[in-house]
Structure 1
Amino acid sequence: MTTRQRNLLMNGLFLAACAAILLFLLQAPPETTRPLPHDQDHERFMTMKRKEAEKFCDACHGPQGVAPLPETHPPKFRCLF
């Protein structure tokens, strides 16, 4: 195999891999997790980092809070804060 043929083969394999990755990403399901509401209650958390702001969630959204989260709420690691 000549150098030219080897280069063409490698370029073709690279393009095929890029196309496969692109197709995989295009088939991803749409995002279903809603972002944090941008209202007066949540406004102060918008400027905080996620880990810092998460410390305050249970005060209102815990089982005994003012607005407990529904059973269908996604787990914390899916939070789009």
Structure 2
Amino acid sequence: MKISKNDWIFIAIIGVVLVIFIAISGKEKTKRVPLDDKHKPFYEIVKQTGSKMEADKGCPACHNEQGGIPFPPKHPVKPKDGPMRCLFCHKLQAQG
């Protein structure tokens, strides 16, 4: 069976997609939620309810721009309306 020109084009496209996928995958850059006394209640909320959105509700109490723990300069824009979704990017650490 001979491989046609169209087959080679398809193989090349798949190869390019794989190279791009491998190039953009790498080490996770977002910080994980610390497993300390301040954050332990949020781990418990997720453990009890299974809802990260419920745990997210407590984040603005400490993490805010009005005198709390400031966000890094390159942090994505915070929503003005609606809940913060901290645990969408910031993952919880595995509890051992």
User: Does the pair score TM above 0.5?
Assistant: yes
What residue is the counterpart of 1:32 in the other structure?
29
> How many corresponding residue pairs?
75
Q: Equivalents in 2 of 1:41, 1:73: separation in Å? A: 24
Max Rg structure: 1
RMSD: 2.9
**More helix, by proportion:** 1
Calculate the TM-score normalised by the size of structure 2: 0.54
2:9 to 3, 7, 13: 13
Tell me which amino acid in the other structure corresponds to 2:55: A
Structure 1 unaligned spans of 5+: none
Identity of aligned residues (%): 28
Q: TM-score, normalised by structure 1?
A: 0.61
